[in-house]
Chains A and B, each alone.
Chain A
Amino acid sequence: MIAKFSHAADIISTVEFNHSGELLATGDKGGRVVIFQQEPESKSQPQCRGEYNVYSTFQSHEPEFDYLKSLEIEEKINKIRWLPQKNAAQFLLSTNDKTIKLWKISERDKRPEGYNLKEEDGRYRDFNTVTTLRVPVFRPMDLMVEASPRRVFANAHTYHINSISVNSDCETYLSADDLRINLWNLEITDRSFNIVDIKPANMEELTEVITAAEFHPNQCNTFVYSSSKGTIRLCDMRASALCDKHAKMFEEPEDPNNRSFFSEIISSISDVKFSHSGRYMMTRDYLSVKIWDLNMESRPVETYQVHEYLRSKLCSLYENDCIFDKFECCWNGNDSVVMTGSYNNFFRMFDRGYRQDVTLEASRENSKPRSVLKPRKVSTGGKRKKDEISVDSLDFNKKILHTAWHPLDNIIAVATTNNLYIFQEKLN
């Protein structure tokens, strides 16, 4: 992996490529969205795909105050999802805890010149000086990228929004909070349909919450949602208006002898992603990544250990709250490799076909730009080999929660706390 680029920002809270991979959007804790654009391949260096440079920056959400509950509503962007491109403009949905917004990003590279009644700087001309008439013409100007909010979808969530997902029909999308999932039409902001409600009549009986939700990539009637108890429910919107009864429930049976205080906490699913093919889905819990075949509910077809060495550190990870960290995961373009983050600025890739995995590090100190990344290893036994890192020297404040993979090429975006790294595969 080579060609690293890093961009310092506020704490990055979400990273997402658009459908062509040309644009990469990041959201941060301060409510800002920064979009990077890939430069077209240069003729002088055809092996190296274009670098990503800042294309547009805008303030998506502002902090708000809920007067009824006296609670602060953070402006932190929880998720960004791109709409498939239909015309010259690009559209994305961005959401904080309570409000989803549809943003239009458009380019302006021409401007009208030669007005009859106005000077070039906008001042009105004295009518007496106008002696001829001319037709204004469009002349090229420096590229200007404008972001404007086209829709604001508000007041539909009592709890905190954790996911948004655009439907393959390109007309609707879902938004999920801890207890409910709503279905929206992209054109209509004053109402949404509630399609899942797991709020118990008595809150004392609450046993699980919704942690993530996603629409199927090509079946517009199907979506899944994951829970804090490690289950995934697949729902079919054709069955009924309210999808409280799942069509399928995916759960790995647990050995009751192995159950501990931590079992449920580490089984909580922090992310669920369908494969591009739509045949599989991937879930991320605290210690592992699991691949499920949608045709088999009884157990995952593949399980990959991300950082099993943390199992003997659960006590301290509970005390410093790290056990509640929500790691995301992603597929590569042809679903052959999956990737997820870990601590110490490490991230892991698992090749499903070759049954290989690698640990890499995203940090300025350990890799120079345009150099190949060196695989890392965490030593678990007593003897630490040279170049290995012991579990106790891992920095748990350096966590990689958000990663994204280009939909077509082997280009990945990895967010550490304050920096964005973009790595490309070395082509020989």
Chain B
Amino acid sequence: MSGENEETQTAEETSVDEKEIQDKVISPEKAEEAKLKARYPNLGNKPGGSDLLRKRLQKGQKYFDSGDYNMAKAKIKNKQLPTAAPEKTEITGDHIPTPQDLPQRKPSLVASKLAG
């Protein structure tokens, strides 16, 4: 008889233990959710709601206008396009330039016929 009581008690304890374990085990999702909310406390209250959907509907890169789009496409196509050589610091606006400050004029490719 006492044996039976012991068994019943053990059974009850086990079921309580199991429930505690189940509470922790059944929701790995809830654990992940807590992690996310800890990292991003400002995350919207509506899970998977309008914001996410609206972002999905708006998929696709936006450009300022068609010119912007075509420039971007050209840049992708011509990755080898030579970039302009970095200009020497242009001296403007601060003071009136002197001849020494101005960038050297490149010599003409065609030599003068007079030099012939």
A residues near B (Cβ < 8 Å) are 63, 65, 67, 69-74, 97, 159-160, 178-179, 203-209, 228, 258, 260-265, 268, 311-315, 318-319
Contacts and interface: CB of A to CB of B under 8 A. Distances in A.
7 shortest A-B CB distances, which residue pairs? Answer: A264-B48, A312-B28, A314-B32, A261-B47, A260-B33, A315-B35, A260-B29
Given A70-B68, A72-B69, A207-B50, 20 more contacts: A70-B62, A70-B64, A70-B69, A160-B57, A179-B57, A206-B54, A209-B53, A209-B56, A258-B30, A260-B27, A260-B29, A261-B47, A261-B48, A262-B47, A263-B47, A265-B52, A314-B29, A315-B35, A318-B36, A319-B39
Contacts of B83: none
B53 A208 contact: yes
11 contacts: A65-B69, A70-B63, A71-B60, A71-B62, A73-B60, A178-B57, A228-B48, A260-B32, A262-B47, A265-B48, A314-B29
Given A203-B54, A204-B50, A207-B49, A72 B32 contact: no
A365 to B, nearest CB: 30
A67 B66 contact: yes
A25 B88 CA distance: 55
B60 A74 contact: yes
A319 B29 CA distance: 15
B26 interface: yes
Given A65-B69, A72-B69, A228-B48, A207 B53 contact: yes
A312 B56 CA distance: 25
Contacts of B61: 71-72
B36 A315 contact: yes
B52 A160 contact: no
Contact of A70 (B28, B65, B73): B65
Given A262-B32, A311-B28, A313-B32, A206 B50 contact: yes
Contacts of B32: 260, 262, 311-315
Interface residues of chain B: helix, strand, loop or mixed (majority): helix
Interface string B14-52: 000000000000111111110111010001000111101
Contacts of A207: 49-50, 53
A207 B57 CA distance: 12
Interface residues of B, number: 34
A179 B61 CA distance: 20
B95 to A, nearest CB: 43
A159 B53 CA distance: 12
Given A70-B62, A74-B60, A312 B53 contact: no
Nearest to B37: A261
B36 A265 contact: no
A322 to B, nearest CB: 13
Contacts of B37: 261
A26 B115 CA distance: 67
A326 to B, nearest CB: 11
B105 interface: no
B106 interface: no
A258 B28 CA distance: 10
B104 to A, nearest CB: 43
Contacts of A203: 50, 54
B113 interface: no
Nearest to B64: A70
A269 B29 CA distance: 18
B30 to A, nearest CB: 5
Contacts of A209: 53, 56-57
Nearest to A204: B50
A311 B52 CA distance: 20
Contacts of A319: 36, 39
A203 B47 CA distance: 17
A313 B52 CA distance: 20
B39 to A, nearest CB: 8
